[in-house]
């Protein structure tokens, strides 16, 4: 399903004002954007946790931390959740041999 089709599904809500229709379109677009970045970060965290080689994990960690920080900066996830995620990932990498 493409972006326009998903937005059309959301637009079935009857808005009374032009500005409300525009807001619905904007929210739908932002929601898809946010979902993409959240899902990508979750997949990266999962892949990092599955790594067993310490050198690979050390190389991959800064990319994952950057993704998490960007999500927290844009309030897609809470800043404390971001801190907890980063902390647990770093602890995981320390335990690798």
Question: If you classify domain 3-95 with CATH, what class do you get?
Answer: mainly alpha
- List the domain boundaries for the chain: 3-95
Give buried/exposed letters for 61-85 (b at 16+ CB in 10 A, else e): beebbebbeebbeeebbeeeebeeb
The CB density around residue 7, as the number of other CB atoms within 10 Å, is: 17
> Residue 61 in contact with residue 93, Cβ under 8 Å?
yes
Q: Could you list the pLDDT tens digit for every one of the 97 residues in the chain?
A: 566 666 656 556 788 899 999 999 999 999 999 999 999 999 999 999 999 999 999 999 999 999 999 999 999 999 999 999 999 999 999 999 7
């Amino acid at each position: 399903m493409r972006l326009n089709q998903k937005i059309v599904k959301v637009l079935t809500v009857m808005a009374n004002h032009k500005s409300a229709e525009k807001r619905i379109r904007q929210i739908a677009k932002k929601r898809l954007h946010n979902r993409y970045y959240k899902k990508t970060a979750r997949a990266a965290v999962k892949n990092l946790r599955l790594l067993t080689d310490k050198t690979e994990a050390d190389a991959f960690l800064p990319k994952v931390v950057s993704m998490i920080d960007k999500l927290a900066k844009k309030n897609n996830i809470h800043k404390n959740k971001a801190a907890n995620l980063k902390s647990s990932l770093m602890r995981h990498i320390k335990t690798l041999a």
